[in-house]
Chain A
């Protein structure tokens, strides 16, 4: 399995006034194509920072981050934006939908940014995805008219609509009840299997980790190890 994400010796420092805080202290990570990888660790361990580096929304202070074969440090702001648009899908903890757009328009947005598809192609693709996440009947609703689980399904559809190689999800079930969270993870797993999309998601919930094909443990900005989900779940309990 070839690596779609490769992180080597990644360090991320933040300045908090005069104090420098190290969020990542030399992280190494390889993620293969088609993996359903969980990054697990307690709050403040560096999970989100690591996802931000992989998602090209932040840059490492030192070290190398390669996404889809590209060294992110060598890319311009414009190229990084294009990489995010064409290669990466994002699912956020708080859904982050555009409140003034309908479900259909929210999902269509990345396709409009790509400017590759005709109106009909966009429409067909969006409706297909909405059908797969079970929201075909809600296409015209606004996000405020949906439940948390439904909003996260919209976010998943938006993340997948460009058929990205990687989907990054930062604690995707943290704001959902346990049943809805389970459903969302099951949906992500199914899409991972059918679309062969690489999923990398962060969590500190052992139940969530159980869905992963592999779990990378992280604490105090360092990767502690990579393990099978069963072992991780046992450790979590």
Chain B
């Protein structure tokens, strides 16, 4: 069946190529000249339609730039702050019913990771915990991340401080909060807070920490995360120095599409070294505790997940954005198709006698098709190139203006301003796709024009 489908697809592709060769193979400068001059002769119509195509293209560039910008911002922010591209988390159970987010002797795990994943840029060890943060005037439950801020330069690029000094997070017993958290706790840089957390042995421990920085909010992630030195987190939880909460791997950009294969390879490597692993489960680590606590094992199991697994609750944002983009794109392309087809019908009606004459003096049908397709493609190409330039300039302008995102949207966009990610590949794709759509829209009217009988076409008036 597969071969039949492949053969049919191959035959179709060959047929299409042969047809295209027949239509465009003998294109001469006069063909191009006729197409160009017809566009110029009807300059108002060409300008109107070309303007519409350019506007649609520019809008498409902005839309795809926004979608890519949100995706990239989310990926960069989330992977840096919380997940890495691949997560090797630990669940450690002293008793069957109580688990803690701990990777024991993590340097050994890290060695396996280095060996199994050559596509890795770097890996970081993050302590994980959940504590009550108490200030003089309030308290809140927050996820605590233990971090070695000196080992994570990307962290400083993502987290923008409103006040304080990020470097101070390297000092013991310090804490970094986000603006909304600091506001709720009514604290400022230099204030002391108390962290209270249950240890793996089931008793509560407390630690006094100094607030060294308040960072600008970064959406949903900043509502439940805060940061302290990894060593201080170990002290809070009474963990030994060789333990951490998770190892987060940051991959090279070109390796990102292969994340599932890399994860599978890493799982195999860890199992080969005798580590026990949780079954693959595309959920964030914090929702797995209940399930793990119900399982009848003790000791350590590792859990290998991707950033998408850890942020699966965000995926609807991207899906909604993609859905919205696709809907808008379909509507806009439908407008382009209708515009082109309508213009072609008008052009064919106006030039019916000319078509008849050309057919009479020896122009083959596919050459008539070529005439009209060239006209549409030429208009499409010029308009889309203008459109992508317009779109790229508009995106650069909007990025420079740092348009603020409403608070509600910040939660899901993980950014406090809009960012349009416009790449050369996107621009080239937009030019190719819309020019192609323009050509396809002109195809049917062109074929109809070519089917006109010379004698009928020459007798046409109008």
Contact = CB atoms under 8 A, between A and B. Distances in A.
Interface of A: 52, 55, 57-58, 77-78, 81-82, 84-86, 89-90, 92, 96, 98-101, 105, 108-110, 112-115, 158, 162
Contact of B458 (A92, A108, A110): A92
A99 B34 CA distance: 9
Contact of A100 (B26, B38, B363): B38
B85 interface: no
B361 A90 contact: yes
B455 A57 contact: yes
Interface residues on B, range: 20 to 34
B138 interface: no
Interface in B360-376: 360-365, 367
B30 A85 contact: no
A78 B364 contact: yes
B137 interface: no
Q: Which 5 A-B pairs have the closest CB atoms?
A: A85-B362, A100-B37, A96-B357, A57-B454, A58-B455
B359 A81 contact: yes
Interface of B: 26, 28, 30, 33-34, 37-38, 40-41, 353-354, 356-365, 367, 453-455, 458
B244 to A, nearest CB: 74
A57 B452 CA distance: 11
Contacts of A82: 362
B362 A92 contact: no
A231 to B, nearest CB: 32
B405 to A, nearest CB: 51
B34 A81 contact: no
A128 to B, nearest CB: 19
Contact of A57 (B33, B38, B360): B360
Contact of A86 (B26, B362, B453, B454): B362
B364 A81 contact: yes
Contacts of B41: 99-100
A162 B26 CA distance: 18
Given A77-B365, A85-B361, A115-B26, A98 B34 contact: yes
A112 B34 CA distance: 13
Contacts of A92: 357, 458
Nearest to B28: A112
A81 B455 contact: no
Nearest to A53: B455
B362 A96 contact: no
Given A57-B454, A98-B354, A108-B30, A113 B37 contact: no
Contacts of B33: 100-101, 105
Contacts of B28: 112
Contacts of A78: 364
Given A84-B362, A101-B30, A101-B37, 17 more contacts: A57-B356, A57-B360, A57-B455, A58-B454, A78-B364, A81-B359, A84-B360, A89-B361, A92-B458, A96-B353, A96-B357, A98-B357, A100-B34, A100-B41, A105-B33, A109-B358, A110-B361
The interface residues of chain A, by DSSP majority, are classed as: helix
B360 A90 contact: yes
A113 B455 contact: no
13 contacts: A55-B360, A58-B453, A78-B364, A85-B363, A89-B361, A92-B458, A98-B358, A99-B354, A100-B40, A101-B34, A105-B33, A110-B361, A113-B361
B378 to A, nearest CB: 13
A96 B30 contact: no
Contacts of B26: 115
A105 B365 CA distance: 20
Nearest to A84: B362
Contact of B363 (A77, A81, A96, A108): A81
B362 A114 contact: yes
A113 B367 contact: yes
Contacts of B362: 81-82, 84-86, 110, 113-114, 162
A101 B26 CA distance: 18
Centre residue among B33, B34, B37, B360 by max chain A CB count within 10 A: B360
B347 to A, nearest CB: 12
A226 to B, nearest CB: 25
Contacts of B356: 57
Contacts of A101: 30, 33-34, 37
A114 B367 CA distance: 12
Contact of A52 (B38, B353, B359, B455): B455
Contacts of B40: 100
Nearest to A58: B455
Contacts of B359: 57, 81
Contacts of A105: 30, 33
Nearest to A113: B362
Contacts of A114: 362
B288 to A, nearest CB: 70
A145 B455 CA distance: 28
A114 B28 CA distance: 12
Contacts of B361: 84-85, 89-90, 109-110, 113, 158
A100 B375 CA distance: 13
A50 B458 CA distance: 15
A96 B354 contact: yes
Nearest to B354: A98
A108 B417 CA distance: 60
A100 B34 CA distance: 6
B117 to A, nearest CB: 59
Given A57-B455, A57-B458, A96-B354, A112 B30 contact: yes
Contacts of B453: 57-58
A57 B354 CA distance: 14
A89 B30 CA distance: 20
A140 B413 CA distance: 61
A112 B364 CA distance: 12
A98 to B, nearest CB: 6
A109 B33 CA distance: 12
A12 B310 CA distance: 79
Contact of A109 (B30, B353, B458): B30
Contacts of A115: 26
